[in-house]
Structure 1
Amino acid sequence: MGNKSSSQPPMKWPQMPWTDRLLLSLVTRLRDVTCHHNGTVNRRLFPFLDHCTAANPNPVEGVCTSDITIDSSCNLYVRVFMPSDPSIQGRPIPVIVYFHGGGFSFFSSSSPPYDALCRRISREICAVVVSVDYRLAPEHKYPAAYDDGINVLRFLDSDRLGSIETVTDLQLDFGNCFLAGDSAGGNIVHHVARRWAASTRDWKKVQLAGAILLQPFFGGEERTESDIRLDGAPIISMERADWAWKSFLPEGANRNHEAAHVFDSIKAGIEEAFPPALVVVGGFDPLHDWQLRYYEALKEKGKEVRLVEYPDAIHAFYLFPKHNDNTKLMEEMKGFVQANRSI
């Protein structure tokens, strides 16, 4: 596992407000108390640890929300976040399809941290955010989350779209659709974008204008320098990452499976229609080196990709409202959406 030298000085983690430290402790606790060593999860504890936020058709912090069922047979639904600013009525606004993080096994579109994050994205970017409540591992392993992601895009592309247009009462610009996600959700963004790009002729309305990957969850059998150096980091560690991959990947697969180790498939050839990408990394994220490798792989294939790094950011910093880099992140995301929209 590449144990750190005993002579190495202790890691000095960035300072955080006590409120953020408390939330960080709760998020980490949620993961640790519900995971079993055999790769299963105790779902019975979730109602006590993850108090879901109800959708609200009335504006809260300038955004209304509504839940829409996509496929009742697999309990697939989305939470739609709609800015209530009256000035946007009558003009097309972009759509951001969001995939939450949680190691493929935790959280939902209605989890308070993700309800708050998507609400902020919708308000500050002035976009309709469609947050996907994809099926979770280990009950639903690879490729269930990817299937759910593409099924949501198919729904948006179909004649059933009226249910979303009705609740939004806005002019949705599906010709400027963006995928966004964090951690495991960033991984899903990559795979869903590739599926879309491989079949562009099959889409009537949905055109991907960009992909936003916030600290995406990639990996492999190799232990990178940041894996080892930052192994004591909160939220993510080598042990927790290994558990997540074991939970999600097919039985018998190791971390070099194409779902985790995406680099070989990118090198072999990536679709011409793969959208421009924004890759966000953090200096205190153990996954830093994998994320940087992803950026470099896209760049080497001639893809339009932008790297943004926050040196003092831990994994999932965007879930902590008072983190110093949150405002800068929203500005970067807004700028990326504006720069890649075709008017």
Structure 2
Amino acid sequence: IKKNEKEENKIEEWWAAYDDCVKSLYWIKNTPNELLKKHADLSKCFLLGTSAGGNIAYHVGLRVAKVSACLKPLEIKGIKSELRLARDKILPLNVCDIMWELGLPIGSDRGHSYCNSMVEIRSNENLFDQLKIQGWKILVIDCDGDPLIDRQIEVSKMLKKKGVQVVDSFSEGGFPGCEFFDDMKLKDMALVVKEFVRA
């Protein structure tokens, strides 16, 4: 993730990760890579991110939903916790705050829609119309050891309330990215993802 400094006056340009991920989807669509063309089912693509990466997947999904026809044949399918985990070994609150401060537009705080998806959800009644029309499903996976879990639960509930197809899986224990260090957590996550993709 890097800050885009080309056009500092445009908020959309500040969080380059969103745009970079959208560009990567266009690359997949247009790639001359024969291995990818032969073995990838572009009609069943999933946006995936764990912890803060889930935030990126969410925003990329909103952007891509508006231009999904342009990506054919590629098709997309489908905070009390911060205080409780302020001294977390992987993502302590002070590190989380610094990362948001560096990543958000100058002058913005944690109430910005890039950091708090609920801001945009509450202010735009039609935000998910394209996702619903296209029948997209969203999978939300997190654990109660992630400082961001309260936000994930809040967003999941709101998406369901807005009529979006959501499957969520919240487990006990763990920490941000625990599936990269704990084989059982990885196996559990893989099973949830497998069931979601097959459904």
**In structure 2, which of residues 80, 88, 107 is the aligned counterpart of residue 252 of structure 1?**
107
Instruction: Point out the structure with the larger helix share.
Output: 2
Q: Which amino acid aligns with 1:301?
A: K
TM-score by length of 1: 0.51
**In structure 2, which of residues 22, 28, 36 is the aligned counterpart of residue 150 of structure 1?**
22
Q: What are the equivalent positions in structure 2 for 1:105-116 lying under 5 Å apart?
A: none
**In structure 1, which of residues 183, 186, 196 is the aligned counterpart of residue 64 of structure 2?**
196
Paired with 1:168 and 1:197, the residues of 2 have a C-alpha distance of 23
Give me the CA root mean square deviation.
Answer: 2.0
SS at match of 2:112: coil
1:325 alignment partner in structure 2: 185
Q: Which amino acid aligns with 1:327?
A: K
1:186 alignment partner in structure 2: 54
Residue 209 of structure 1, CA deviation: 0.8
**In structure 1, which of residues 268, 273, 284 is the aligned counterpart of residue 130 of structure 2?**
273
Greater Rg by CA = 1
Task: Say if 1:169 and 1:227 are closer, same or farther in 2 by CA, change over 3 A.
Answer: closer
SS at match of 2:172: strand
1:311 alignment partner in structure 2: 172
Residue 206 of structure 1, CA deviation: 1.4
2:95 alignment partner in structure 1: 240
SS at match of 2:48: strand
Residue 139 of structure 1, CA deviation: 7.0
Residue 138 of structure 1, CA deviation: 8.1
CA contact (8 A) 2:144 2:171 kept: yes
Instruction: Point out the structure with the larger strand share.
Output: 1
Unaligned residue ranges in structure 1 (runs of 5+): 1-103, 105-135, 211-223
How many residues align? The count is: 187
Task: Say if 1:294 and 1:168 are closer, same or farther in 2 by CA, change over 3 A.
Answer: same
Residues 139-183 of structure 1, C-alpha deviations (whole Å, 9 max, x = no match): 79732111111111112223xx222xx244733211111111122
Task: Say if 1:247 and 1:138 are closer, same or farther in 2 by CA, change over 3 A.
Answer: farther
Residues 219-266 of structure 1, C-alpha deviations (whole Å, 9 max, x = no match): xxxxx3221122111111221111011111111111111111111212
Paired with 2:115 and 2:129, the residues of 1 have a C-alpha distance of 22
CA contact (8 A) 1:310 1:325 kept: no
CA contact (8 A) 2:50 2:176 kept: no
